[in-house]
Amino acid sequence: MKGGQAIIKSLTDAGVEVVFGYPGGVLLPLYDVIYDSNLRHILVRHEQCAAHAADGYARASGEVGVCIGTSGPGATNLVTGIATAYMDSSPILALAGQVPSHLIGNDAFQEVDTLGITMPITKHSFQPMKAKEIPGMIKSSFYIASTGRPGPVVIDLPKDVQEEEFEPEKNIKIELPGYKPTKKGHPLQIKKAAKLIINSKKPVILAGGGVILSESSLELLKLSETIGAPVTNTLLGKGSFPEDHELSLGMLGMHGRKTANFLVDECDCLIAVGCRFSDRTTGNVDEFAKNAKIIHIDIDPAEIGKNIEVDVPIVGDAKIVLRDLLDMIIKYKSNITTDEWVNHVKEFKNACIPRMTYNDVPLKPQTVIKEIFDTLEDDTIVTTDVGQNQMWMAHYFTSKHPRTFLSSGGLGTMGFGFPAAMGAKVAKPETDVVAVCGDGGFLMVCQDLATIKEYDIPIVICILDNRRLGMVAQWQKLFYDKRMSHTHLGEVPDFVMLAESFGVNAERLERPGDIKDCLSNALKSGEPTLLDIIIDPEEILPMVPPGCGLTELVGEYKVERENLEEITYHEKSQEKVGD
Amino acid sequence: MEEERTHIISALVLHKPGVLQRVAGLFTRRGFNIDSITVGTSEKEGMARMTIISRGDDKVLEQITKQLNKLIDVIKVRDLEHETTVKRELCLIKVHSPTEKIRSEVIQYAGIFRGRIIDVSSETLTIEITGDSDKIDTLIDLVRGFGIKEIARTGPTAMSRGIKTM
Ligand SMILES: Cc1ncc(C[n+]2csc(CCOP(=O)(O)OP(=O)(O)O)c2C)c(N)n1
C-alpha cells in the first residue's frame, strides 16, 4: 500500500464521507488516490473556506470535519480556519501537504513550517516521516480531535511519504501515554456544589459551548427546572438551552440581554457549565457576579481559575457531572422551593423583552432578525458571520436546539459564516441552513459561491447590507468621536449581480414584510440563494463598554411594548421607549 | 498581587521531535517566563526529562502546570518544592590567566569551590564547577577580576530528595 492510499483508507475507516480541499503540487499523490476513491471531495475556491466548512460540518454534526490544503500557501490559507476551530474547541482534522522530506529545511518551493506555524493553534499535530506511521497518526488524530476538550489536529504530509510503499499492519493502536482526559467529576466537589446550590436562594446557570459539545442539554434542562435556576448562555452556548423556555435569559455579556446581565449580577450562586469566562462574556471581572458563589464545571482543568476565581471547581465531562450533581442535589433535598426567585425572574424578563418590531425603511436589523426567525423551522441551522450581524443574531434570534446556531466566537473570524453554512449543509443535507452575514465579511469569502453552485449545496445567504464595517463603525461612533476611519464600504459590489454571475439566485430586499416569502421560497427551491437585505446602518446594538461591569449598558435598551402601533408611527420623532 | 517565586518544574515528556518547541512555544505564547530549561534522556525509554526554572505567583504556576499537562506529548508535570529538592547546575568558565601568579590564584579559587581545571593554554584556564546556582555565581564573581573569556552554564536540573519519584 502507498502512503496516499493509507491516508484515504484511514479516513474512511474513521467514518469520513466527505472532505473539503484544494490540491497542489505536493498533494498530487494524494489527489491521485482521491480520484478513484469513494470519498466525496468538495473543491472549495479558497483553502480558508475548506477549513471553515470542515468546522461548520463538525459543529453541525458533532463529527470531525476534514479539510485539505497543499504545502506553503495552501497551508497558510488554512491557518485562519484552524485558529477559528481552536478557539471554539471544534474538532477538525487539517491535512496539509509538505515538500518531500529530503527538502524540508531547504526553503524549497512552497515550503513553509506548517507544524511550527500551527503549533499554538492546534490541540496536537503530526508529521509522518515514514508511510507506515500514517494509519496510527490518523487514528490518533481523530481520537484527540474529538475527545476531551475537542480541537483541531494538523497532519503535515511530505510528498515522498504519500508515495512510499509499505506493508500495513492489521491492528492500529493508539499510543498516547500523555493524553487521558478526565470524565467523571470529583465526588467531593460535586457534593460541595450540591450543598451550595441547595443553600442558595437565587441561582443562575451560565451555559457555554461545552454543554453542546458534551451533548448535555437535557441534563441542563433538568437541573434548571429542578432548582429553579434561570439559564443564560455564552455566544457558543446558544442553543444549549431552549431560548423560548420561561427560564431562559438569553445571551450574557458585552452584547448580552439586559435580563441576563442584571440577573447574573444579582444571583447568589452561579453555576457555569462548559464555558471559559471570556472577557466578552464577563465584562470587568471584578464586577462579575459579585454577589455569587461560583461553581465552574469544565473538562479542561486549565480553564478553571484562568480568568475568574471560582469557589467550587469541578473538572469533568459536563454530561456526567451534571447527572451526578442533580442526583446529589435530589438526595439532599427532594423538593426545592423555587417560586419566589422564579417569579422574580419572570417579571424581570417580561419587563425587558427587547423590541424588534419596527416599520422603518431602511429596515431595522432587529426586524430583519425577527422576520428571519418567524420564517424558519425550529431545527434550521443558522450560521452568522462576525460583527453587528453576529450580535444582532446572538441577541435577538431565539435558538432552541443545540448545534443550530454556529458562530465564530473566540477568534471572531470575518468570513466564517458562509463557508461554515456550506459545511453544515453538507453534514445535514435534510436540514435547512441559513447564513446571516455582514456585507464586509461575506465579501471576504464570496468566491465560494462557485462551490455551492457547482456542488449544488442549497443554502440561503442573508446579507445584512449596511455598506459599513458595522461593528467597527459602532465603536467609532461610541468611543472615537464619530471619526469614521475606513469603515465605509462604498457602493460596490452589487451583491445580486455578484451572485447571479455565479449562477446563484439572488434578490434584494428593502421593506418590512419582504423577507418571509422570499426566504421560505428560497429554502423550498432547493437551490442556493443570496438575499441582499438593505438595513439601517445607523442602528446601534445594546452594549457594555469594554472594562465596565455587565450592568453598565450604554444607551437605552428598547423594549417591546403592547402599544406598539403608537410607537412605530412616530418613528422619525426619536421615540423614547426605554424602560 | 500574590508573591512571585521561583519554581522548579520537572516534566516527563515523550522524547521526540518538536517537543521542546511545543513546551517553549507554550511559555512564550502564554507570557510565562523561563529562566532556564534543561532537557535530557530520563530513566524511562523513549522519554525525556525537562527541568524548567520559572518565576511567577501561584496562579501563574497553576496555569503553567495545567497548560503543560494539556500538551499531548507531556506525560507528567511536577512543581518541585525547594526544601525537598536537590538542584545542580554545571558551569564552564574560561579565565584569562597569562601569568604563573594568576594561574595559581585561579586554581586555588577553583579548589575552594570543588571545581576542576579541565583545560589549560598559555593564556587561559578552564574551570568546571557543579553546584547550585548561587555557588556558581560566587565563583564567577571571584574570578571576574582576572578577566573572563567565556562562560557556558547548563541551567539547573533537579529531582526530589529521598525515595520519592515523580
Ligand atoms: C478577518 C477579520 N478582520 C477584521 C475583523 C475586525 N472586525 C470585526 S467586526 C468588523 C466589521 C464587520 O463588518 P461587516 O462584515 O460588514 O458586518 P457588520 O458589522 O456590518 O454586520 C471588523 C472589520 C475581524 N473580526 N475579522
Is there a single domain that holds both residue A218 and residue A93? no
Burial class of residue B135 in the structure, from the number of CB atoms within 10 Å of its CB (0-12 exposed, 13-18 middle, 19+ buried): middle
> How many domains would you assign to chain A?
3
- Say whether B66 and A144 touch across the interface (CB within 8 A): no
- Among B26, B48, B80, identify where a domain stops: B80
CATH number at residue A258: 3.40.50.1220
In-domain check, residue B153: yes
Contacts of A119 in chain B (CB under 8 A): 18, 21-22, 25
What span, in angstroms and rounded, lies between the C-alpha atoms of B80 and B68? Answer: 15
Side-chain-side CA neighbours of residue A422 (13 Å): 34
- What pLDDT does residue A261 have? 97
Is residue B164 a part of any domain in this protein? no
Q: Are A350 and A301 in contact (CB under 8 A)?
A: no
Domain membership of residue B119 as a residue range = 86-158
Cβ atoms of residues A551 and A261 within 8 Å: yes
Q: Mutate which of A104, A119, A133 to test chain B, going by most B C-beta atoms within 10 A?
A: A119
CATH number at residue B109: 3.30.70.1150
Q: What is the DSSP letter of B2?
A: P
Residue A384 shares a structural domain with residue A417: yes
Mean pLDDT by 10 residues, chain A (579 residues): 98 98 98 97 98 98 98 98 98 98 97 98 98 98 98 98 96 94 96 97 98 98 97 98 97 96 98 97 96 98 96 98 97 87 95 92 97 97 98 98 98 98 98 98 98 98 98 95 97 98 98 96 98 96 93 85 42 35
Model pLDDT, residue A561:
67
Q: Please tell me the residue having the least CA distance from ligand 1 atom 4.
A: A414
Any atom of ligand 1 within 6 Å of the Cβ of A391: no
Total domains in the fold of chain B: 2
Q: Is the domain of A448 the same as that of A398?
A: yes
CB of A242 closer than 6 angstroms to any ligand 1 atom = no
Decide if B59 is inside a domain. yes
DSSP 8-state assignment for residue A185: P
Residues A98 and A215 reside in one and the same domain: no
Catalytic residue list of A: 47, 109-110, 159, 471
Q: Is A513 on the interface with B (CB under 8 A)?
A: no
Ligand 1 probe mutation, A414, A485, A487, most atoms within 8 A of CB: A414
| A255, part of any domain | yes
Chain A residues with beta carbon closer than 8 angstroms to that of B59 = 305
Q: What is the CATH number for B17?
A: 3.30.70.260
pLDDT at A562: 52
How many whole angstroms from its chain centre is CA A436? 13
In a domain, A358, yes or no: no
Query: Angle at Cα B56 formed by Cα B50 and Cα B59, nearest 5°?
Result: 100
Is the Cβ pair A302, B29 closer than 8 Å? no
**Does a structural domain hold residue A570?**
no
R_g over Cα of chain B: 19
Report if residue B152 sits inside a domain: yes
> Are both B74 and B91 inside the same structural domain?
no
The neighbouring-strand residues paired with B11 are: B50, B77
Residue A466 lies in a domain: yes
Kindly state whether residue B37 falls inside one of the protein's structural domains.
Answer: yes
State the CATH number of the domain containing residue A113: 3.40.50.970
SS (H, E, C) A449-488: HHHHHHCCCCCEEEEEECCECHHHHHHHHHHCCCCCCCCE
Q: How far is the CA of A556 from the centre of ligand 1 (A)?
A: 24
Considering the domain architecture, whether residues A370 and A342 belong to the same structural domain is answered as no
What's the one-letter identity of residue A199?
N
**What pLDDT sits at residue A247?**
98
Q: Whose CA is nearest to atom 16 of ligand 1?
A: A440
Last residue of a domain, one of B40, B57, B80: B80
Best residue among A363, A437, A471, A539 to mutate for probing ligand 1, ranked by most atoms within 8 Å of CB = A471
Largest CA distance in chain A: 79
Same domain flag for A332 and A216 = yes
Cβ–ligand 1 distance for A23 under 6 Å, the answer no
User: What ipTM describes this predicted complex?
Assistant: 0.92
pLDDT per residue of chain B (166 residues) written in tens, 0 to 9: 578 899 999 999 999 999 999 999 999 999 999 999 999 999 999 999 999 999 999 999 999 999 999 999 999 999 999 899 999 999 999 999 999 999 999 999 999 999 999 999 999 999 999 999 999 999 999 999 999 999 999 999 999 999 988 8
Domain interval for residue A439: 365-541
User: Which among A115, A178, A302 has the least Cβ separation from residue B75?
Assistant: A178
